[in-house]
Structures are given as C-alpha cells and as structure tokens.
Amino acid sequence: MNISIEKTPKQVLSHYAVDTASAVSITHLPGTHLSKVKDAAIELNEIAGSAKAVMHIGARNIQTESELHETCVAAKKAGIDKILCIGGSTYEGKVYQTVFDLYDQLAPYGFELSCGVYPQSESFNNVDWVRYNKFRGGGITQLCFNPKILNNWVKKTKIGVPSNCSLKGLYKYIRLCGLTDSLAHALGNLKGMRYVTTDGFNTVKFVKDLNGQDIHIYNFGKLDQTLMQLEFK
C-alpha cells in the first residue's frame, strides 16, 4: 500500500513525512496563484531529492490562460512530472470549468495527469469509462467515511483518508478549502461516525476496513503521528 500526503503551499512538512510518503500533493486553494503551487512543488522535490511533488490544479481557480501555461512551462522545466486536476471549490471559473478543459490544455506537456473523483455521487464504472480513459487515474477528493462505498474503487484510485486529527482540526482545514458541506455530508453518514472518537479521527481503524487500496492522507493535523501509526499497525 502506497501512502501519499499533502500540504498547502505555505505548510512545512517534517523530513520524516516527506521521506515516508510515496508522493506529496501541493494543494491549489481558491485565491492562490498557480505559480505558488509550482514554487512549493519545486521546493518539495529539492527536499525529497526526487520528483515526489504532485501539483494540484483547480480548473475554476485559474484566473487567466497565461497563469496556467506559464506555470506549466516553468514546472516542466523544473522537473515536476505529476498533476492532479480538480474542478475547484468555486461554482464558476473565469477561464476553465472542468477537468476536461484542463486535460485539453495540459496533455501536450506530457505530465502524468490524474483527476479528482467523488465516490458518493459517482460510480467507479462511469468514471472508468468517462475520465480514466483520458487520465492515468484518480484521487478521491470528496470526504467519504463509508468503506463499503470506497471499496468499490479498487482500481486506478487513491482513497482519501483524514489524518488522526481532532474534529476541530478537521473542520478548520476543510473550511479553509471551502468544503464545509463535504464534512457535513461525511459525518452525516452513520458508518463514518464510528471512526470519530474523543481523541479525533481513528485513521488506522478506518484504513483496516478498506481493501488494501493505495491511500492519500488529508493533512488535517497530527500527520507524523498518523504515518507512524500506519507504518507500525
């Protein structure tokens, strides 16, 4: 099982986290110029000593065509080779609207392209037919605490898993990302409530209920602790 992690452009990860993870995603938050994501990805690769960074690009977060293309030219030159395409948190973009818009623009650069998927509103078969025939695979970018649903996504998909954080930390992070509805949706799922304790989210228990898929840890706090627990579970 490979474990990837993530950080915002400004967050600093420990060397242990960078060394342990198979890949590190750099999130593209609303209001953040894509060049900041690229700069953080370059810095991460320098720390890792290899191309571990995955740039996120939110289609509706892009403000101009030049923002996308100038950043991609610089990223390619710097050795960044992986991009995760998502729609973004806003409802309407100024230039691009969907991951397919991004795919058409990014394909000529030769990046390894993956896309976000939403297990509570999409089926694996549909995504496999419609998006995975273009993208290399996907990462679950919608909070879902129901292993029964997630275990339908056994191919080409990394399962998104919260770190062993407090509920306060969980809420604070996704509020920053503009995803408060996603948390309410996830916690409204009764199966998800059994992983929430007074000490926070029980990441190890949740992962044990999955079918051994590769996972991606949302960095909601206590990231190193979470990685250590998973490493020695």
Summarised one tens digit per residue, pLDDT across range 103-143 is: 999 999 999 999 999 888 899 999 999 999 999 999 877 77
Could you give the percent of the chain with pLDDT greater than 90?
Answer: 67
User: What's the pTM value of the predicted model, to 2 decimals?
Assistant: 0.89
Instruction: For residue 153, give the DSSP letter.
Output: -
Q: Could you tell me how many helices (H) and strands (E) the chain has, helices first?
A: 11, 10
Question: Which residues are within 8 A (CB) of 109 and not within 5 positions of it... i.e. 6 or more apart?
Answer: 72, 73, 76
In the prediction, which pLDDT does 190 show?
44
Please name every residue paired with 54 in a beta bridge, in sequence order, or none if there are none.
25
Task: Check residue 193 and give its pLDDT.
Answer: 65
Closest by Cα among 197, 233, 226, 167 to 4: 226
Report which of 177, 144, 179, 137 is spatially closest to residue 160, judged by C-alpha positions.
Answer: 144
Q: 37 falls in which pLDDT band (50, 70, 90)?
A: very high
Domains in the chain, CATH or no CATH each: 3-231 (3.20.20.220)
Q: Which pLDDT belongs to residue 178?
A: 47
C-alpha–C-alpha distance, residues 151 and 206, integer Å: 12
